Amino acid sequence: MLAAASWLFTVTTATAQIKINVSNDSPLRKLQIAEMAINSLYVDSVNEQKLVEDGIRGMLEKLDPHSTYSTPKEVKEMNEPLQGNFEGIGVQFNMVEDTLLVIQTVSGGPSEKMGIMAGDRIVTVNDSAIAGVKMSREEIVRRLRGPKGTKVLLGIMRPGISDRLSFTITRDKIPVHSIDATYMLRPTVGYVRIGSFGATTPDEFRESLKTLLEQGMQTLVLDLQENGGGYLHAAVEVASELLNSGSLIVYTDGRRVNRNEYTARGGGLFTEGKVVVLVDSYTASAAEIVSGAIQDHDRGIIVGRRTFGKGLVQRPIELPDGSMIRLTIAHYYTPSGRCIQKPYEKGKKKDYAMDVVNRLKSGELMSADSVHFVDSLKYYTLREHRVVYGGGGIMPDEFVPLDTTKYTRFHRELAAKSVIINQNLRYVDGHRKQLHQLYPDFASFREQYEVPQSLIDNILAEAKKQKIVLKDDDELQRTLPYLRQQLKALVARDLWSMNEYFAIMNEQSDVVGRALQLLTKK
């Protein structure tokens, strides 16, 4: 018979240790006996580690959609973009067929310092071939990355040089930037796009504001479209730069967690000028905290489409092997008191994940009239007492319908099969020197460059190879305007940076266009 004595164990979270006393009749003791019995007596051999992981996942799946279990590998991959750095050689690359092509080197990184250039092909790592051997992208990344201070020998083929070049790179910490773009959208209108809220986002945002203020910014367009969230403290710090001292930004409250308020600390860099926040149905979590605070304090205008609706707070619980449970412990509430978490049924994560697709099917993304809120979830903004609603994301002050005519079926298939990105890479790789000579700066490129017909022809030829069929000539003509704009933006990105990419794409963005219209009216 298995003994069932009372016992004590400790769970470590990111902020505290929780001591749990397990008595003889505890359900936890029952769970342990079941695991021991299966591992010891089951007819076939079992993987005890997987057995326990499946048990944890099974429990969490019956809870809310955001309580999750992650393996040690998944934890590392999840945290890396948010922590603000990783250790490696410092290159942005893409795969052209089965060869690694350097798109850009990280400014100040180890590869740039050693003379690696855009257009270089890394063909060997520590004398082992990585080109022409059909190695997975994940395996290539694993070989290039490594602890700071370690060395890696790269074999490189460079256009115009017949011999293979060798570079010994000393790995270092490589910054991961969470701000995608910072530039002047118009002479007095600054633009900042935040891709996620990570550990370095507040410092990056302050630097962006300083740069734009020096260039004469009087109005800020803060783009949070497709921003899935991140760290709570990063969202609070970003909002603090836009709100007056003491302004409530967000508060959390839960069954076993007391109400905790987060307020603006004061001294924000941009507390007076106009603010417009751009959102869509993928704007979630920390990005919704910023949007909700700006809206509730009547600090600015929210433009776009209803946000995702994630108002649940997760606490990380670290397990001894490096794995982690992220357990929902509270709700987020905006300053007016509304919870923006959208409805869900426990254990039905698939239905929850399909919500954005269902919004498209219901017509919500095309018409604000398709969004329905109940009166019991009505709240009021704090200064102007405008009506806002809880219970399912942040509804923008100015709704911008999704223009589905821009994205034809043909274009979607080209993008899904990487035809556009791969043909663009080949084009830039073959014309990089010529393009830099013709367009020494972005201003001249923006004004004069036109996508050559040869690049369009190559895309159409590749589409035919991959059996992506055009319905008719009308579909092609509807595809070409957006495709040409996208290609021009991608070329600009590869020659300069993401700032230039968004500077081109935003000129045809309906959401950005509406923001500029509103600013002109004001």
Please identify every residue annotated as catalytic: 285, 296, 310
Measuring CA to CA, which residue among 204, 234, 221 is closest to residue 278? Answer: 221
Other Cβ atoms within 10 Å of 449 Cβ, number: 17
Measuring CA to CA, which residue among 173, 131, 133 is closest to residue 154? Answer: 131
Q: Is 386 exposed, middle or buried (0-12, 13-18, 19+ CB in 10 A)?
A: middle
Under DSSP, is residue 104 helix (H, G, I), strand (E, B) or coil? Answer: strand
- State how far the alpha carbon of 470 is from the alpha carbons of 343, 403, 419, 455, 464, in Å: 40, 21, 14, 17, 9
Q: Are 274 and 522 in contact (CB under 8 A)?
A: yes
In 400-429, which positions are buried (b, 16+ CB within 10 angstroms) versus exposed (e)?
bebeeeeebebbebbeeeebbebbbbebbb
E strand or H helix that includes residue 290: helix 286-296
Structure token pair of residue 247 = 């302004």
- State how far the alpha carbon of 478 is from the alpha carbons of 235, 320, 351, 470, 483, in Å: 39, 55, 33, 11, 9
Q: Are strands 121-125 and 91-96 parallel, antiparallel or unpaired?
A: unpaired
Structure token pair of residue 223 = 């783009």
Dihedral sign (CA 59, 316, 284, 483): negative
Q: Are 292 and 341 in contact (CB under 8 A)?
A: no
44 phi, psi to nearest 5 deg = -110, 160
Structure token pair of residue 514 = 């509406």
The C-alpha atoms of residue 303 and residue 366 are separated, in whole angstroms, by 14
